[in-house]
Each structure stands twice: as C-alpha cells, then as structure tokens.
Chain A
C-alpha cells in the first residue's frame, strides 16, 4: 500500500473541501472496497478524508411519504430497517443478496453506489485497462469475459457495475443527494448517477471532484410484490452473473431492472411496459443492441429465465 495522510472530517463542507483541495485525496467511509484496491495499488490515494463522524447515519421519513437514507447507514442497518423491509422489500432483498455479513456491517449506502468493477483485468496491474490507466487498452476484450458486460459497454471497456443494492435503488427511482465544496446541494436521479463507459471508462459517475454524497431518498412506496433474483456461481457471497430486481403489481404490470450485465443498473422503462406479455418480450426490448462475447452470451437467455422465474413466483 502506498503511503497516505489521514484526517477525520468534522462536518460535510470541511470534508468536501478537504478532498477538492488536494489532488489524490479521497473520502473513506466503510473502506471495504477502497482498502482492498489500495492493497493491490489499483487505488493510490495520497490523502484520506474519513467521513464516519458526519451526521448521515439515520433513516427518516420524508414529507412526501418516502424515506431519506443517510449516506453512512450501513448495509446491515438499511436491510434490517422495518420500513424498508415492509415497504421497499426489493431493497432489503438486494442488500442481503450481496457480500457477507461482515462486509455489510461496514459497507455504507454511499460507498455501495461508488464501488468499483470487479473485472479481473482492472484488478491485475500487469494487464492493460482503460479504466485503471486511461489509454492503455482493454485486455478484457478478447480475454476471459464470462463475468463481464453484455450491454451498454464500449470499445474501451466491457466491465460491469458489480453492486446489488443500486439495482434496487434504480428500480425504486431513488435520488442521490450531494453537497459540493461550495456548499451547493443537488439531488441526482439514480438513472443519471452512473455513466456508461464510452471513451472514458475511468469516469464512473457524474460526481464532481469533492462532491460528497449525503443521502439517498426514496419516493413513497409503490406497493406490489418485491423480488431480487440473483444468479451466481455459488449460493452465497459471490457477484451476480445476472440479477433481476422486480416489483410486480396484481394486474401483472410492474418494474424490472437487471444487475451484472452493464456499466450501471440496467432498467429500460419501455421494456418493463411489456411485462404482461412475459419475460421474453421484456428482455428482447431491454437487451436490444446487446454486444455479448462468446464467453458471456449465456447472460442473455439467463436474464430471460431469471425474469420468467420472478413472474412465475408473482403468480403463485
């Protein structure tokens, strides 16, 4: 691990300024992903701003009938919150489908949104990777791509966003609230938060330097039956090959988002409108224009089958 200096921020604005004012500075909350990457020197921050003392550890009702989840609420506490379990079950389900009990105790809501891809070529510093080293190329293209992206990827990068929780947040139309170093706040729709890789896979979100996530808000509950179906290589503690987050209403309509397939949680509203016609109709539209490799072409029929399973459960 490369040497770095450290400070523990006392308030949000000071934290944002501390990061914006120093090249190579980064926020750290739970640190489970950042430290992992620092150990292999994929991440080499020169200064860490520890945000654990900031007042973002609560889950509160909003005047609009939704909930506001503080950026530092742990995955465990969010999944266990009685309101989330009752009204936003897809979110609880997505969280407990990810990582391990130990990691969920440390991982934060904001950190989960910012986790880096698990593409093996991103992790191996001997390999070309445009995300790790812009302009160096992509060894994953033509390499082992079983885990990698099938849609929304580019000629520069075929990595996926690895998380589960944000797939449910995308389904629920969450807003990501931030404060910047000038004290200006904004609420970013989750659909716009993660970028597609394009020619700049090193740019993963729309956050500006020093912009700090303070909370994630959910609109009022939408009812329906909630599902998070995750298909992976072992029964627990593995990243998704394909995951399906869905809320199905009694009339068969609903919402669908997919994980493990793209640079961001993959939801196509025009595709989910076809839910009453069945899984194949939805995935044909949601994955139109997909560019799978030979290794990961199985993800397309797998997504259809995972969604078919969810639809069948909703009718049971």
Chain B
C-alpha cells in the first residue's frame, strides 16, 4: 500500500505490505536505525517514537495507519553536533550503559516532561486535580514503559530532572 510519512520534518513516500509495523518502516525501509527493536511486543519501550507529538510504541502500530502523520525519531530530536537538551543531559549524567534502550528512553523522557507540563495525571499523583510536578517519583512512574537492562534508571531520572529544571 502506498503511504506518506512525515519523518523528522521530511515527507517520505513508502509502499508497504499491510503487515509492516511503524518500527520496521522506520528501520528497514527508511534506514533510520536509531529507533531500536527490543521485545517487539510493547513491553520494553526501546521502539518509542513521537507521533504527532505523543510517544507511542512503534512496534505495536501498523505503518499504514500513520498515513500523513508526523513522526519524530531520535535522529530528529538532535544530531551529534547539535544535541537535544535531553540527549546532552543523558551524556552528562551517564544515563545509559550499553545504549540499546537509550533512543527509546530519550524519546519517552522528552514526552514525559511535555505530559507533566500538559497536566496528564499519573499513578503516583496524590491530588488528581492538582498540576503534576516533575519529581523523581513521578518520572520513575511515568518512565515505567521503558526497560533498561543495564539499570541506568537513577541516572536517567537525574538527566530528566536537569532538563525539567528541578533538583535531581
């Protein structure tokens, strides 16, 4: 099926089998291999990308369902010469070890801070009607869909705290 994805600001026409996931379209067809395939079942978060500004598991979505959507991958957030603030903070705080989950962690982390700013509630929020705050507890809960086998969680939370402008 012919579709058009807007990936990192560029229109990318594709002709795909209906079974192609958004993840496989990005990696295998557009050769954007920053986004990683971990479990391929929505359990690990390595495939997290932003679709129309919202984070999703790209492994659990069909590419053909995203005709016309705007996709942002890790390659679109920043470049080695011009890092996104979250990428810079991950480097500074050593928010990874092997690095495999990192693109998904960073896309998710960027979206988490946007969700907190937008007032999306979380499981650890005591007062549902109050605006959520970027506390360590909140960031840990909101990042629970991103697994890090190396266990870099505490440093990831510190990187997020720096970008959020709160003390880690």
Contact = CB atoms under 8 A, between A and B. Distances in A.
Nearest to B145: A100
B38 to A, nearest CB: 12
B2 to A, nearest CB: 12
A52 B121 CA distance: 24
Interface string A223-237: 000000000000111
Interface in B35-70: 40-42, 45, 48, 54-57, 60-62, 64-65, 67
B83 to A, nearest CB: 23
Contacts of A93: 123, 128
Contact of B60 (A3, A5, A106): A106
Contact of A52 (B65, B115, B129, B142): B65
B57 A32 contact: yes
Nearest to B47: A102
Contact of A106 (B57, B118, B121, B122): B57
Interface in A48-99: 48, 50, 52, 76, 79-80, 82, 85-86, 89, 92-93, 96-97, 99
A277 interface: no
B48 A102 contact: yes
B122 A102 contact: no
In the A-B complex, the 4 residue pairs with the smallest Cβ-Cβ separation, listed nearest first, are: A100-B145, A236-B144, A237-B144, A105-B54
B56 A6 contact: no
Contact of A89 (B48, B60, B128, B142): B128
Contact of A6 (B1, B55, B123, B141): B1
A35 B62 contact: yes
Given A80-B120, A105-B56, A85 B61 contact: no
Given A31-B62, A85-B128, A106-B61, 20 more contacts: A4-B19, A6-B18, A6-B64, A31-B60, A35-B62, A36-B60, A39-B41, A76-B115, A80-B118, A86-B128, A89-B128, A93-B123, A100-B42, A100-B145, A101-B115, A101-B143, A102-B55, A103-B60, A105-B56, A235-B141
Interface in A1-55: 1, 3-6, 8, 28, 31-32, 35-36, 39, 48, 50, 52
A269 to B, nearest CB: 26
B1 A100 contact: no
Interface of A: 1, 3-6, 8, 28, 31-32, 35-36, 39, 48, 50, 52, 76, 79-80, 82, 85-86, 89, 92-93, 96-97, 99-103, 105-106, 235-237
B57 A5 contact: no
Given A1-B19, A35-B60, A86-B129, A105 B55 contact: yes
A102 B120 contact: no
Interface string B105-138: 0001001100100111111010011000000000
Nearest to B107: A102
A32 B42 contact: yes
Contacts of B118: 80
Given A6-B64, A50-B65, A103 B57 contact: yes
A35 B21 contact: yes
B96 to A, nearest CB: 19
A240 B112 CA distance: 24
Contacts of B1: 6
Nearest to A6: B18
A28 B56 contact: no
